[in-house]
Every structure is written in C-alpha cells, then in structure tokens.
Amino acid sequence: MIIAFLALALLTFSPQSVETAFNGNKGALVVLGASGEKVFLYNPKGCEELLPPCSTFKIWNSAIGLEEGIVSDPDAAFWKWDGEKRWLAAWNKDQTMRSAFAASCVPAYQALARKTGAERMAKYLHKISYGNENISSGIDVFWLPAPDRKPLLISPMHQAKLIAQLVNRQMPFSPHTFAVLKDVMKARQTERGILYGKTGTGEIELGVNICWYVGYVESAGKAYPFACVLKGKGITGLDTRTAVEKIFTQAGLL
C-alpha cells in the first residue's frame, strides 16, 4: 500500500489510524481543505481510481431535483411507496427527501431521476463536470454498478473536489438548493464538529463490494471535504462511514 501524508498544523491524521479504521479492508481516503488543497491522502493510486459512485450520487440527484423544482421541501411528499416489498424495510413506505436520503432509498431516487429526465441530467453532469458524465446505461440506473452496463465513473479525488466546490457554493445551484442539501446531508454533531455525508454500496465483482462515504466535516470554523472508499466482502457504506468517523475523531475534528 502506497501512502502519502500531508500534514496541517493541529491535525493528527495518520496512516496508522486509517489502517486501523479500515479493519483489514483495502481502500482510499482523500481529505481536502475548503479551498481544495490536499490535507491528507491514503493510497494515492486508489484516490484516482475510477469507480461507480453508487448511492453517493444521491447528493447530486437531490441537488438537481431541487434546482429544477421537482422537489422543494425536504420534509414534503417525495415518493409514494408503490406497494412492492423490497429487501430493506425502510424503503417500504412513503418517503420525504430527508427520509429517502437517510435510508438511501434507491426506488425513490430512481423515480426522481426519471422525473429529471436524461436531457436535464446530462446538462447538469456536464455543468459540474461529474466524473465521466456517462448516463448511457439508463436514466434510473446509470450510477449503479452491474455486469451488463457501463456506469457513471468517478474517482475519490474527484468526489472530494466536487464537495469542496459545493461547500464554497461554486456550483450552478441556488441558495435554497445549497441550504436544503446541507440540511439533509447532516449526519452527526459533536462538541468538536459536524459531519455531513452520504454512503454508497455496490457489488463490483462476485461477493466484493465497493463502499463509499463522501461529504465534509465542519470543525473550528473550517470545512474539510472528503471521499473514502473501501473494497471487501460483506461490507457496506455504513462500514465506511464508521471508519471515517473513527479517523476524524482521531484527527480531532469530531
């Protein structure tokens, strides 16, 4: 494993804390400053690997839906359950954007993508330069990995840089969109900081998952955009979020 470590004063990121938090899984971690400068990299080669974003794309699916007026209130009706029993019980009910984001409700966000449509979706992905901008595999599946499709691809480094632009409001979105997105992304608050983010999980080969956590931490008046991805058997995005929380706690940000 190749490791690069770029220290900023008062922060205590370490390769050892990352390896402990990753719990034997392969992975990569990018932490940036609010202006996009590199603060910490773990596995630089992995930080540049192109991967399907899985449900981390819900950050941008939400932003586009908000910007286009398809949804305006995070607590208003967002998706009416179609009655189909799915594997995750939290999906088997009507959803608001807040609940759908928290539960990572795939059918709700597939419905939002269909309402957005391919033309508008492609326009926004080009505007924000999201990954390879490939939505050719279908408007409601393009962010999800599968053997029979060529999905949207993006690297952890690119994910973190887009979050930095989001934090700095350097995106083609309104103040309302920024405010609602920040609200639904809020995941945890401690005395030291606030964590915002989104998980994502997908199977890239038989029995092996890629598991993302992408977002930012606000601490001591500063923002730290990040993207973390793990690869392993039997793991999920929640495992990656747990690893990130351990790393940021060790670093003094949470």
Residues in contact with 14: Cβ distance below 8 Å, sequence separation at least 6, in sequence order: 5, 250
Establish whether 55 is a catalytic residue: yes
Interatomic CA distance for residues 208 and 98, integer angstroms: 29
CB-facing half-sphere around the CA of 34: CA atoms within 13 A: 11
Interatomic CA distance for residues 44 and 28, integer angstroms: 7
Contact of 117 with 102, CB cutoff 8 Å:
no
Q: Which amino acid is at 242?
A: T
Strand partners, 208: 205
Backbone angles phi, psi at 210, to 5 degrees: -100, 135
Contact of 184 with 193, CB cutoff 8 Å:
no
Terminal-residue alpha carbon distance, the chain: 26
Quick one: CA dihedral 100, 104, 108, 111, positive or negative?
positive
Active-site annotation holder among 14, 17, 35, 55: 55
The three-state secondary structure class of 20 is: helix
Catalytic residues: 55
